[in-house]
């Protein structure tokens, strides 16, 4: 066994999640993963809106390498009918862009953190949409443009080409990258220009992860 | 005790009442094992010479039986049939068959339709009358040599003195007369278990005697003690049954739950306190090396011996432990009536009546507790991810 499940469960903060969401039930899976299934009942509050209390039946799949990998989630109760931000190939929910979810997990690397920061907001926006016919904080465009959009705002650049080049720089060593001319076109080197925004992202994921991200976004 | 604890205890007591079996089942069990004992002592008995004694082991002995999840399920009544024979003079098979012949004759005489079935270590008898039992009868002989070894391992003298040798059909030398037999100590375990709750039970027992329900403290059977330890075990077993209702073979075994719970029980008088301490301390009694979970009256025996070959079983144990700890916290935290009923149904498959729920929630509020939560605690959403596809 790679890591005893016992210490893994503690590291994941599984008990905290189950205490907070007692409708969930834990099912150990092969290779040290876990499945959490049952009812996720929450009350959530956003901005000036009235709090929403709602319940969704879910299936959360956690792999052994959590929090490096992001859990995948399915809605099992038929509440999300029109394919609202659902991956058509496997029925998993599109909770948000990979980099956004990675950032949330980096700040709160537990399953409770994942539920509070990634899952509850998603279901809140589903319920909000049912009640108000619109989304509380919008959504991202489908596919690569949506993901790039997220990066552009995080990196404060306004064109896709510069954005992609900056993501590429996240895949190489900081010291090497900082000596390059900044892709934003400022004429300065990266170390004197976009390095702060890049460093914030570097803290969230590894270079190899960003190389993968760059490859996927360039396809 | 603050009002939240009072609430928790009321919930747990209401739950345990639903899990507990009627005392008539224990009476029935007693009747059955006594009847088998009498049979073995009748004039024509083949084993009469070997002063047979029949006694109960397992949950019917410890008073930790719970209602099966399905009404169609049977209760297991585990009996030991001990013959005063030396393992140096007979083979395991001799003992197994001696007992077997008598059990078969008994089944016939009692008009039990199903014939006795031979299992690896015991004989199984299926009663098919109103009380659905099956009896597992474990043949055993005293084992003075094993008793001495237990004493050397510093097992208490009165516990070691109960140790026995048992038979196993799959043992390589099952048919030979030799001294290498499987070992067990069911009576010793009962004594140890009883000892874990004796201090807290004393007052309880005296009050039963004072109410003239029993002639003396020694006459109160273990199942009537109803200590917080026994009740905690009942709750934990039912939680396990629900969690593993679709994976019956993968569930943590009762012996593991019973042993760990008894190890961790510190004589608490309140159920809620007992249960939360037990579940919190459990991991301390699971060792990293073998034996992972030692039998307290037979330190070399490992109740978790299957974990090595089937790691899934260990994962299931920790999953159960994590879930049980979380669920017990959730179920003892004041909530409104409908939420309380839903939680208890979901986690323990038990229906607390509406009336009872109202009383529990009502008393908590009257005692100055906060009104039960009618919604989960609010999450404030900040910097939410935008859904993406």
ipTM for the predicted complex comes to 0.86
Choose among A66, A65, A89, A140: nearest CA to A74. A89
Choose among A98, A66, A82: nearest CA to A2. A66
Verify whether the Cβ–Cβ distance A42 to B376 is below 8 Å. yes
pLDDT digits (tens, 9 = 90+) for B117-159: 999 999 999 876 666 788 999 999 999 999 999 999 999 999 9
Give the pLDDT score at B364.
78
Q: How confident is the model at residue B5 (pLDDT cuts 50, 70, 90)?
A: confident
Q: How confident is the model at residue A141 (pLDDT cuts 50, 70, 90)?
A: confident
Give the pLDDT score at A1.
43
Res. A168: pLDDT tops 60:
yes
Residues A151, B386 contacting (CB under 8 angstroms): no
Q: CA B183, CA B163: separation in Å to the nearest integer?
A: 8
Q: CA B271, CA B277: separation in Å to the nearest integer?
A: 10
Q: Cβ neighbours of residue A153 under 8 Å, at least 6 residues apart?
A: none
| DSSP notation for A124-159 | HHHHHHHHHSS-SS--PPSHHHHHHHHHHHHHT-S-
Choose among A104, A93, A72: nearest CA to A205. A104
A110 has a chain B CB within 8 A of its CB: no
| Side-chain half-sphere CA neighbours of A125 within 13 A | 25
Average pLDDT, chain B: 93
Q: CA B37, CA A149: separation in Å to the nearest integer?
A: 81
Q: CA B104, CA B117: separation in Å to the nearest integer?
A: 9
A121 has a chain B CB within 8 A of its CB: yes
CA dist B64 to A116, B16, B223, B235, Å? Answer: 39, 11, 7, 9
Q: Give the one of B322, B377, B378 whose C-beta lies nearest to A15's C-beta.
A: B322
Q: CA A116, CA A65: separation in Å to the nearest integer?
A: 20
Average pLDDT over residues B346-374: 86
pLDDT digits (tens, 9 = 90+) for A91-110: 999 999 999 999 999 999 99
Give the pLDDT score at B371.
67
Q: CA B180, CA A174: separation in Å to the nearest integer?
A: 69
Verify whether the Cβ–Cβ distance A120 to B379 is below 8 Å. yes
Give the pLDDT score at B1.
57
Q: CA B345, CA B222: separation in Å to the nearest integer?
A: 29
Residues A217, A147 contacting (CB under 8 angstroms): yes
Res. B389: pLDDT tops 80:
no
pLDDT-wise least confident of A129-143, A194-208, B329-343, B356-370:
B356-370
Q: CA A84, CA A78: separation in Å to the nearest integer?
A: 11
Query: Which of A6, A103, A110 is the best mutation test for B, with the most CBs of B within 10 A?
Result: A6
Residues A115, A19 contacting (CB under 8 angstroms): no
Verify whether the Cβ–Cβ distance A137 to B384 is below 8 Å. yes
Q: How confident is the model at residue B229 (pLDDT cuts 50, 70, 90)?
A: very high
Q: How confident is the model at residue A31 (pLDDT cuts 50, 70, 90)?
A: confident
Give the pLDDT score at B58.
96
Average pLDDT over residues A128-157: 91
Give the pLDDT score at B150.
97
Q: Give the one of B316, B330, B385 whose C-beta lies nearest to A101's C-beta.
A: B385
B280 contacts in chain A (CB < 8 Å): none
Average pLDDT over residues B233-255: 96
Average pLDDT over residues A164-174: 95
What's the angle, vertex CA A25, arms to CA A20 and CA A27, rounded to 5?
135
Q: CA B3, CA A30: separation in Å to the nearest integer?
A: 43
Res. A80: pLDDT tops 80:
yes
Choose among A217, A159, A151: nearest CA to A186. A159
Q: What is the CA radius of gyration of chain B?
A: 24
Q: Which residue do the tokens 């399905």 mark?
A: B70
Verify whether the Cβ–Cβ distance A86 to B389 is below 8 Å. yes
pLDDT digits (tens, 9 = 90+) for B35-64: 999 999 999 999 999 999 999 999 999 999
Residue B67 tokens read as 């209602």
Verify whether the Cβ–Cβ distance B330 to A19 is below 8 Å. yes
Strands A34-45 and B378-380: parallel
A55 has a chain B CB within 8 A of its CB: no
CA dist B33 to B38, B86, B190, B260, Å? Answer: 9, 24, 17, 28
Give the pLDDT score at B370.
65
Average pLDDT over residues A46-75: 95
Q: Give the one of A43, A135, A146 whose C-beta lies nearest to B379's C-beta.
A: A43
Verify whether the Cβ–Cβ distance A43 to B376 is below 8 Å. yes
Q: CA A11, CA A20: separation in Å to the nearest integer?
A: 16
Q: Give the one of A1, A23, A85 whose C-beta lies nearest to B388's C-beta.
A: A85
Residues B197, B225 contacting (CB under 8 angstroms): yes
Determine how many CB atoms are found less than 10 A away from the CB of residue A135: 15
Verify whether the Cβ–Cβ distance B380 to A28 is below 8 Å. no
Q: How confident is the model at residue B380 (pLDDT cuts 50, 70, 90)?
A: very high
How many A-B residue pairs are in contact by the CB < 8 A criterion? 129
Q: CA B255, CA B78: separation in Å to the nearest integer?
A: 13
């Amino acid at each position: 066994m790679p890591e005893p499940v016992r210490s893994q469960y503690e590291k994941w903060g599984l008990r905290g999640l189950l205490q907070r969401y007692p409708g969930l039930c834990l099912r150990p899976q092969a290779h040290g993963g876990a499945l959490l299934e049952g009812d996720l009942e929450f009350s959530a509050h956003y901005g000036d809106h009235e709090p929403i209390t709602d319940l969704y039946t879910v299936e959360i799949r956690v792999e052994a390498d959590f929090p490096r990998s992001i859990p995948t989630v399915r809605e099992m109760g038929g509440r999300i009918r029109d394919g609202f931000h659902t991956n058509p190939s496997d029925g998993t929910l599109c909770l948000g862009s990979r980099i956004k979810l990675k950032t949330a997990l980096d700040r709160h690397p537990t399953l409770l953190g994942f539920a509070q920061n990634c899952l509850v907001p998603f279901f809140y926006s589903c319920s909000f949409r049912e009640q108000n016919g619109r989304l509380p904080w919008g959504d991202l465009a489908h596919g690569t443009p949506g993901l790039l959009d997220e990066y552009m705002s995080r990196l404060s650049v306004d064109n896709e080409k510069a954005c992609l080049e900056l993501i590429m720089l996240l895949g190489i060593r900081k010291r090497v990258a900082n000596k390059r001319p900044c892709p934003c076109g400022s004429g300065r080197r990266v170390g004197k220009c976009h390095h702060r925004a890049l460093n914030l992202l570097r803290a969230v994921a590894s270079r190899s992860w960003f190389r993968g991200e760059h490859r996927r976004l360039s396809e | 005790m603050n009002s939240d604890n009072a609430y928790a205890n009321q919930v747990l007591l209401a739950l345990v009442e639903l899990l507990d079996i009627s005392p008539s089942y224990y009476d029935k069990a007693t009747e059955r094992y006594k009847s088998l004992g009498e049979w073995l002592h009748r004039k024509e008995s083949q084993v009469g010479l070997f002063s047979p004694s029949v006694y109960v082991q397992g949950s019917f002995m410890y008073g930790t039986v719970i209602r099966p999840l399905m009404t169609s399920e049977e209760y297991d009544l585990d009996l030991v049939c001990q013959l005063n024979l030396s393992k140096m003079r007979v083979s395991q098979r001799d003992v197994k068959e001696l007992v077997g012949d008598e059990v078969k004759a008994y089944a016939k005489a009692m008009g039990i339709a199903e014939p006795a079935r031979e299992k690896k270590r015991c004989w199984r008898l299926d009663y098919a009358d109103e009380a659905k039992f099956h009896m597992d009868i474990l043949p055993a002989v005293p084992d003075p040599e094993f008793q001495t070894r237990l004493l050397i391992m510093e097992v208490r003298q009165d516990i070691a003195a109960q140790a026995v040798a048992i038979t196993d059909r799959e043992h390589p030398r099952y048919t030979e007369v030799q001294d290498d037999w499987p070992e067990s100590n069911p009576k010793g375990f009962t004594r140890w278990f009883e000892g874990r709750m004796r201090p807290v039970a004393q007052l309880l027992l005296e009050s039963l005697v004072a109410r003239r329900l029993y002639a003396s403290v020694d006459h109160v059977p273990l199942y009537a003690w109803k200590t917080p330890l026994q009740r905690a075990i009942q709750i934990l077993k039912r939680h396990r049954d629900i969690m593993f209702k679709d994976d019956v073979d993968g569930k943590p075994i009762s012996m593991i739950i019973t042993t760990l719970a008894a190890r961790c029980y510190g004589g608490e008088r309140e159920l809620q306190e007992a249960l939360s301490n037990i579940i919190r301390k459990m991991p301390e009694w699971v060792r990293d090396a073998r034996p992972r979970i030692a039998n307290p009256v037979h330190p070399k025996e490992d109740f978790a011996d299957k974990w090595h070959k089937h790691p899934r079983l260990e994962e299931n144990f920790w999953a159960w432990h994590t879930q049980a700890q979380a669920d017990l916290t959730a179920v003892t935290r004041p909530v409104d009536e409908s939420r309380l009923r839903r939680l208890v149904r979901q986690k323990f498959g038990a229906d607390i009546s509406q009336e009872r729920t109202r009383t529990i929630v009502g008393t908590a509020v009257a005692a100055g507790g906060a009104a039960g939560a009618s919604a989960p605690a609010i999450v404030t959403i900040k910097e939410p991810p935008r859904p993406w596809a």
